[in-house]
Chains A and B, each alone.
Chain A
C-alpha cells in the first residue's frame, strides 16, 4: 500500500477512534510535532463531512422519488385520498 494511503488510514483510525488507545496517544504526539499532519487531519475531516452530505442528498432524492410515486401512481390513490382528507379544512 502506498505511503500516502497509510497516512489516510492512520488519520481515519484517529478520527473514528478506531485505533488502539496507545496508537491514539502516539498520533496525538505526532500532531504536536508535525503541524502539516494537523492540516492533513483537518482536510480529511472536512472530506468526510462532504461525503456525508453527498450521501444524505442521495438519500433525500430517493425519498422524494418514493413520495412522488405515492402521490401520483394510480395504485396509491386510496393512500393519497386518506392523506388529502386530513388537510381539507
Chain B
C-alpha cells in the first residue's frame, strides 16, 4: 500500500512529529554511518539534512511511501552519504546493508540548494522579520490563508491575504534596493 504523508503545521505538533522521526530513524542512520566509518557529528549533520529534504519533499507533495517514513529517511541519508563520500574521492564501499530500504527518491530535483547571499538574508531577518515569518509560513510551510489568520492573529483569511501582498511587495522592494546598493551581494 502506498501512502502520502503530510507534515503538521502547528508548531508544537510539528516538534512532536520531528521528535518521533528523530527517535525512529536516527538510530538506523547512525548505525549505517558508523559502519561506513563516519563520526557521530557526520551522522548528525547528514540526518538533519535528510530531515530538511524530507520535509520539503512532503510540502511539495513529492513523497509517496511504499514502506515507512523511517526507510524513506534512511534512503535520503544514504544517498547523501554516498554523494559526499564520492566527492571526497574516497573509495565507495560496497553497500551490503539495507537493500530492503530503497525507496524511489528522485533527489535530483533542484529544490535543494545550498544557501547563498547570507548577508541579504541576515538583513531581511533583522529589518523585516515579521514579514519574513509571514511569507515563509505561506511559501515554505504552505499554509492556507485560514491557517495564516490563526497563527498571526488576523481577523479573517481576507486580511491575511492583504498582509501577504503587503509583505511580498515590501520584501521584494528591499531585496531589489539592497542588492543594487551592495553589488557584492549578487553572485
Report A's interface with B, CB cutoff 8 A: 1-2, 4-5, 8-9, 43-44, 46-48, 50-60, 62-67, 69-70, 79, 82-84, 86-87
Contacts and interface: CB of A to CB of B under 8 A. Distances in A.
B172 interface: yes
Contacts of B99: none
Interface of B: 14-15, 18-19, 22-23, 26-27, 30-31, 34, 39-40, 43-44, 48, 51-52, 55-56, 115-117, 120-121, 124-125, 132, 135-136, 139-141, 165, 168-169, 171-172, 175-176, 179
B139 A50 contact: no
Contacts of A70: 19, 22-23, 26
B175 A50 contact: yes
B136 A47 contact: no
Interface majority SS (helix, strand, loop, mixed), chain A: helix
Nearest to A2: B165
Interface majority SS (helix, strand, loop, mixed), chain B: helix
Contacts of A43: 172, 175-176, 179
A59 B55 contact: yes
Contacts of A82: 27
A44 B115 CA distance: 18
A16 to B, nearest CB: 10
Contacts of A55: 136, 139-141
Nearest to A76: B23
Contact of A83 (B26, B135, B179): B26
Given A51-B139, A53-B121, A83-B26, A67 B48 contact: yes
A54 B168 CA distance: 14
A51 B26 CA distance: 28
B22 A56 contact: no
Contacts of B136: 51, 54-55, 58
B22 A67 contact: yes
B178 to A, nearest CB: 11
B14 to A, nearest CB: 7
Given A1-B165, A8-B169, A60 B26 contact: no
Nearest to B35: A86
Contacts of A67: 22, 44, 48
B179 A46 contact: yes
